[in-house]
Structure 1
Amino acid sequence: MPKNTYTAQFKADAVHLYESHPDLGYTKAAEDLGIARGTLKTWVRQDRIKRGAPTQQSTGSAQMPDPELSAEQRLLQAQAENQALRERNKTLESANSVLAEERDILRKATKYFAAETNW
């Protein structure tokens, strides 16, 4: 299978398209451009490294503390992150309870309709 080669301008335009539309994911952007998702992701990562920008978007993973911050500033940063994670956890727990209720309703409906069926 032949390996596709793309011009530097095409790569730059693809990265610019992805970066300029935050609601556009790798998959959709790559599909629109007719390239593989991994290819676009690699180009974006390489461009971010070249610019010195962070290479990951918000993934929810812990970040390394900035060594130039004082211990007090790192503590405040950690406390703020902890609070944000607690709020996110609370949101996910409430969403989970709603899904559990929906699942229980569907189970009851399934039992009701299964008992009613006489084939």
Structure 2
Amino acid sequence: MARKTYSAEFPRDAVELYRCTPSATVAGIAADLGVMDSTLSGWIKAAGVPIRGQSRPPAAVVPGDETSAQELARLRARVAELEGETRKLATERETLRAAAKYFAGETNW
């Protein structure tokens, strides 16, 4: 099987996507980008970014049973999660724009 070559920008963008997405896994991002897990892991390690462990989903909380401090902590965690998702989507959008621009330049019609 032929070895794939990637532009210098692609691994940088992939590592940035992983770094900016706290809830993402190496396997999930690799699948989204169409690369092998080991390839993405190598890029992440080469960039000096620590690989995170598997995170557990938060336990379900009944809104009436929590104190105001617990509610505040839960809502802050949710805001952080949503901000991470927004960063992930923005990075994915920029990666797709760059890919579309790259492939549009390759067409010979």
Q: TM-score, normalised by structure 1?
A: 0.42
* Higher RCO (CA 8 Å, separation ≥ 6 residues): 2
Q: TM-score, normalised by structure 2?
A: 0.45
